[in-house]
Copies of this chain bind each other. A is one copy, B any other.
Amino acid sequence: MKNNNKPLTLKKVAEILNCSTATISNAFNRPDQLSAALREKILTECKRIGYHGPNLTARSLRKGESGVIAVLLTDSLAYHFTDPVANQLLQGISEVLEKNNKQLLMLSSATNAQQTSGIEALPDGFIVYGSQDHNPLFERVVQQGKPIITIDFDIDEYPSVNIDNQQAAFDIANHVLEKKPESPAILGLRLIHSDRVCRITDDELFDENESISRRRLDGYLKAAEQHNYQIKSNRIWHVPKNTYELAKQAAHEALTSHPLPDCLICMSDNIASAALNIAREMNIRVPEQLKIVGFDDIPEASRLSPPLTTICQKSREKGKTAALKLIQGKLQDKTILPSQLVIRSSS
């Protein structure tokens, strides 16, 4: 089974089959350039002698296209494999790519940027997930002049796929604040730049920017205002990444703080799930003593006990939409995908 010979080249194949390289190439790429019979014969011969078609590197160098689509991720790849939301997104993307015979290359902005591998020259297009302020890899991607589509953030010149984060956050906060909790708290995600779980400060509460988390926080605060709550900055926790461990830490801090929150508005289902577990450990009954709501609607959300009230943001759909737009070359518009409040028994 093992093989130590060099793979055949088109040129050698042409020699063996005793015709020109152009004919072999045409057999693989342009059926109209030769008779069906000859093409068939060549293809069968190739299979027999073990030539499986032109080498990607060479073809791509020549044609300037590779059939590879890259997903540019903000954090490390390893992190993205742990994040259920990223997982769903990648699932949607790969569904579309597979259907269209495209290969998926995962590129991480967190990669050691010194060692420039030049990999950004390979893909025919890029799906950029998550904001990229002054990321060197992203800048090299832009330089390629290839199609780019962004997800969960926006750059004027490029098409994008987003949801209305502020509205969605408003909806879910509105829903839970209608129950008149006494001391609601917020477990936010990536609110500030610290890599520690911590509370935010008053300044930060009013710090305007374009991030998703800011949009969501705005939605929460708007709902709070309408219900005459004033949520102070020290009732808002910052979780630096959407990992279970950090979420647990934040949930634990919140549920051991004074006054004890009776309502946790979480910026991700992961955080909400951790909060649910901490509450169970502490024998706090959900939803009677504590209401918990999440965001995302990851698959786990409906299986938790109690199942989680959340915002369904169809991450898989997001990925599919972005991949499809990229492949079909529909590169004009900005898409806002619908999201909706899903009420389950955690609230």
Contacts and interface: CB of A to CB of B under 8 A. Distances in A.
Interface stretch (A89-97, A180-188, A332-340): A89-97
B103 A52 contact: no
A78 B101 contact: no
A155 interface: yes
A98 B121 contact: no
Interface string A79-105: 001100001101110110110010111
A91 B87 CA distance: 12
Interface of A: 1-7, 50, 52-61, 66-68, 76-78, 81-82, 87-88, 90-92, 94-95, 97-98, 101, 103-108, 110-112, 115-122, 140, 142-145, 155-158, 244, 273, 277, 280, 299-300, 303, 305
A117 B104 CA distance: 12
A87 B115 CA distance: 27
A114 to B, nearest CB: 9
21 contacts: A1-B156, A2-B158, A3-B142, A7-B144, A53-B116, A56-B117, A56-B122, A57-B66, A57-B122, A58-B61, A76-B94, A77-B98, A78-B94, A87-B87, A98-B110, A98-B112, A101-B117, A103-B107, A105-B105, A273-B303, A277-B303
Contacts of A142: 1-3
Given A140-B52, A143-B7, A95 B122 contact: no
